[in-house]
Structure 1
């Protein structure tokens, strides 16, 4: 299963054992070290208690309608997830990030990305600089996921 960021955002999170809706996916939390989605931020409608996070590894499946989890115990408060808090503080947002080569050439900016079952970012779609259209960028070329910039190996995307 490969899913785009836009296909995951807004999905309902459903508990299999309880048969109930636990909330809606609001954000994907990126772990820049592994180039992975570490967790999903879930809005359960009780914002006054704080946001909830769902570790990516707790996901049973992602369909066109919902993100499926075993039960509501898979959701944790952000406050109880210090590793996720530190990733949120780093604040890597893949969408909108500029793409630069190691030598400093601008390639464009990320408009979408795809993740696999393990949460690994497998490819990014970028809008090429100078209005040259768009291109697919395989994650094997990505050297660094930064807060504002993604650094890639030298290659020609045109």
Structure 2
């Protein structure tokens, strides 16, 4: 699970070209589904239109970047009315007040977490009085622009902080990370490296001109995020 704040401002990298296409500007929420459906892109060269990535086109959301297969995964929102409508609804979730269906004010949303593989909103971090608590998304009835409406017993389902049930969360993170690494590796296998890639100790781990095998990619992954990203940005 990723916090929304961990996704915003991440570089967006095309794995096919190694180019950075921009950074994540906003997460576009589908209020009917309770999912993040799109990520909008900030790029100084795109002044006349708003570009976005459908969540289903994302290869992975890592600590360093959001990765997509190529630039064809990017859409122009002006050409997709449904996506444009979601952007115009401006459902931001964070900093939104939370109220029960009978009109009782609960608190306000500080943050929300989403499944980085599907975009599903998993939980909300709320400020309730002087406390911070976690509310599962299953308690939310309506995601509105000004208010989130929740069930009457919503507070009974809250958890005191993000770290409760840590073993369960850790297992999910490990499984997700493993799946992400496999997807990224598959896209790089067979590509030619255009410069020497050095490991954290300064030694070359993948030479320029190498046609990547799965073993080469895994070796770069083992060197750390920065080495793997450099490899992904220097292939053709």
TM range (shorter): over 0.9
> Which structure shows the higher strand fraction?
1
Q: Computing the radius of gyration over CA atoms, which structure comes out larger, 1 or 2?
A: 2
Gaps of 5+ in 1: none
Answer whether contact 1:31 1:38 (CA < 8 A) is retained.
yes
Mapped partners of 1:47, 1:58: distance in 2: 20
Equivalent in the alignment of 1:86: 85
1:67 maps to 66
- 2:118 maps to which residue? 118
TM-score by length of 2: 0.64
RMSD: 1.2
| Runs of 4+, deviation exceeding 6 Å | none
Equivalent of 1:150, from 148, 151, 161? 148
1:49 aligned onto 2:52: no
Structure with the higher helix share, 1 or 2: 2
State the 1:132 CA deviation.
Answer: 2.5
Number of residue pairs the alignment of both structures matches: 155
| CA–CA separation in structure 1 for the residues paired with 2:52 and 2:135 | 28
Q: Offset at 1:91?
A: 1.6
Of structures 1 and 2, the one scoring higher in RCO (CA 8 A, sep 6+) is 1
* Partner Cα distance (1:47, 1:5) in 2: 24
List per-residue Cα deviations over 1:73-129 (Å, max 9, x = no partner): 00111212211111112221101111011111111011100010200000000111x
